[in-house]
Amino acid sequence: MLFSTMSFACMNVIVKHLSDVSSYQIVFFRSLSSLFFTFGFLIKNKIPIIGKNNFLLIMRSITGATSMLFFFMSVKYLSVGTAVSLRYIAPIFAAIFAGFLLRERVRPWQWVFFAISFIGVLVLKGLDTEINTYGLMLILMASVLSGLVYVIISKIGNSEHPVVIVNYFMVIATVMGGLLSIGNWVTPSGWEWLFLFSLGVFGYFGQVFMTKAFQTATTNVVAPIKYVEVIFTTILGITLFNEIYTFWSLLGISLIIGGMVLNVWYKSKFKR
């Protein structure tokens, strides 16, 4: 899980570095370079590329691609650590969607932990004068859509191979990013080409290491560690981009991550 968080943190700071490149292009290259791994895995293991639940797979992919686009756009307006922290409130929206669409029950203590995280959002918006309102709206929309992705994947269940789900996502995100880039193309130069193609590599291995972590150890042990991504990303943001985090931004981030970690820990008690 630590290797996973480091991979995702590297991907996050590369997105921040590519500030002159269109977010549509970033989605395109991040997805295109991942297809090399997903198609390769499916072909090597003779797994059918076309899934059984095509409607749900397409809906998951469109929703996920849009969420990814909003996240990449938000990084241009927010410090990268703040953007990643706010993206992690997605479980709140997932719980709301699951209640309506899947009739899943959220326990009272979970709402308490969600409230702690939401207070963190209010602290960031209300007390941190450095935060950009437009960037905040973008990352909140990304989190809402990410929460919907969780519910769609839950609806798909075990009927599809995980790589099939990811492959659909990458194909549709590549097409979406490519089409949107047509009128917004900025030709990369020099090292930007390498950075763009490395996004898919870091993203893919982040997913692989995360999957292996959940397969190897219990959820209550490894799930909270994924929030270390915020720490790694924040440190890289300070080191590479001289980002400044005020007391209020650090307090808000701590409340967001603290509430989410408590939620993961509490949920794991009922899965033993």
pLDDT, average across residues 16-33: 92
pTM (predicted TM-score)? 0.89
Spatial distance between the Cα atoms of 187 and 252, rounded to a whole number of angstroms: 37
pLDDT, averaged across the chain: 88
105: left (phi over 0), alpha (psi -120 to 50) or beta: beta
Spatial distance between the Cα atoms of 271 and 99, rounded to a whole number of angstroms: 18
Spatial distance between the Cα atoms of 41 and 177, rounded to a whole number of angstroms: 23
Asked whether the predicted pLDDT for residue 245 surpasses 70, the reply is yes
- Selected residue with higher pLDDT from 70 and 241: 70
pLDDT at 125: 78
Instruction: Give the residue carrying structure tokens 């909270």.
Output: 224
Residue 166: name the closest of 213, 136, 204 by CA: 204
pLDDT at 185: 87
Spatial distance between the Cα atoms of 220 and 212, rounded to a whole number of angstroms: 15
Number of other CB atoms surrounding residue 116 within 10 Å = 19
Instruction: Give the residue carrying structure tokens 């292009």.
Output: 25
Instruction: Give the residue carrying structure tokens 């990643």.
Output: 84
Q: How confident is the model at residue 60 (pLDDT cuts 50, 70, 90)?
A: very high
pLDDT at 31: 93
Angle between helices 191-216 and 2-17 (to 10 degrees): 160
Asked whether the predicted pLDDT for residue 227 surpasses 60, the reply is yes
Amino acid at 232: F
Domain that holds residue 95: 2-268
Those residues whose C-beta lies under 8 Å from the C-beta of residue 195, and which sit 6 or more positions away, are 14, 17, 18
Domain count, the chain: 1
Spatial distance between the Cα atoms of 181 and 198, rounded to a whole number of angstroms: 19
Q: How confident is the model at residue 128 (pLDDT cuts 50, 70, 90)?
A: low
Phi first, then psi: give them for residue 191, nearest 5 degrees.
-65, -15
State what percent of residues in the chain have pLDDT above 70: 96
- pLDDT, tens digit, for every residue of 156-167? 888 888 888 889
pLDDT, average across residues 247-260: 90
- pLDDT, tens digit, for every residue of 107-125? 888 899 999 998 988 888 7
pLDDT at 102: 77
Spatial distance between the Cα atoms of 236 and 182, rounded to a whole number of angstroms: 32
Spatial distance between the Cα atoms of 74 and 16, rounded to a whole number of angstroms: 10
Q: How confident is the model at residue 263 (pLDDT cuts 50, 70, 90)?
A: confident
